[in-house]
């Protein structure tokens, strides 16, 4: 499946993030990881600038997917609130889950996770661990 709508130059992670983190279709995480690894391997062999560290590349894919889903969340909110088109809200749980799961994996994104949880009305208990001194 190829989508050339609004085609522009962008980060090397954009295409695979778009395919694996679609706003309307959910894929199992193991499938996404497998496809992304194969994409990265083939891109490296083709000389594309994907880097030598798959972990760094995958982080870039996830963060690109996060950026796309934040954009979609804003667009869907506008369509509902300003344009009176609430039908788009049916798809929001999927990409809100993408946003939350990505933010949960990276310490740098924890403040964003807390903000999204607060907006979504998700109560997260505070847990503290104390060790022996």
121, part of any domain: no
Please say if the pLDDT value at position 133 is more than 60.
Answer: no
117, part of any domain: no
Of the candidates 104, 107, 99, the residue with the CA atom closest to the CA atom of residue 120: 99
Count how many domains the chain has: 1
Residues in the chain: 133
Query: What pTM does this model have?
Result: 0.82
2, part of any domain: no
Return the pLDDT at 24: 79
**Domain region containing 56:** 14-112
Q: What is the mean pLDDT of the chain?
A: 88
33, part of any domain: yes
132, part of any domain: no
89, part of any domain: yes
Is the separation of the CB atoms in 21 and 68 below 8 Å? yes
Please say if the pLDDT value at position 104 is more than 90.
Answer: yes
7, part of any domain: no
Please say if the pLDDT value at position 131 is more than 80.
Answer: no
Reduced to 3 states, what is the DSSP secondary structure of residue 40?
Answer: helix
> Each residue of 26-72: pLDDT tens digit?
889 999 999 999 999 999 999 999 999 999 999 999 999 999 999 99
Please say if the pLDDT value at position 5 is more than 70.
Answer: no
Distance CA 19, CA 1 (A): 8
Distance CA 99, CA 82 (A): 23
pLDDT confidence tier of residue 2, bands split at 50, 70 and 90: low
Is the separation of the CB atoms in 61 and 54 below 8 Å? no
């Amino acid at each position: 499946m190829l989508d050339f709508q609004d085609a522009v130059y962008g980060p090397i992670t954009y295409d695979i993030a778009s395919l694996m983190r679609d706003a309307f279709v959910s894929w199992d995480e193991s499938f996404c990881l497998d496809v992304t690894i194969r994409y990265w391997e083939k891109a490296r062999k083709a000389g594309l600038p994907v880097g030598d560290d798959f972990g760094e590349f995958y982080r870039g894919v996830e963060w690109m997917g996060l950026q796309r889903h934040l954009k979609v969340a804003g667009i869907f909110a506008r369509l509902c609130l300003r344009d009176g088109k609430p039908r788009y809200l049916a798809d929001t749980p999927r990409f809100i889950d993408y946003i939350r799961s990505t933010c949960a994996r990276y310490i740098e994104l924890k403040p964003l996770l807390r903000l999204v949880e607060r907006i979504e009305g998700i109560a997260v208990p505070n847990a503290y661990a104390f060790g022996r001194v």
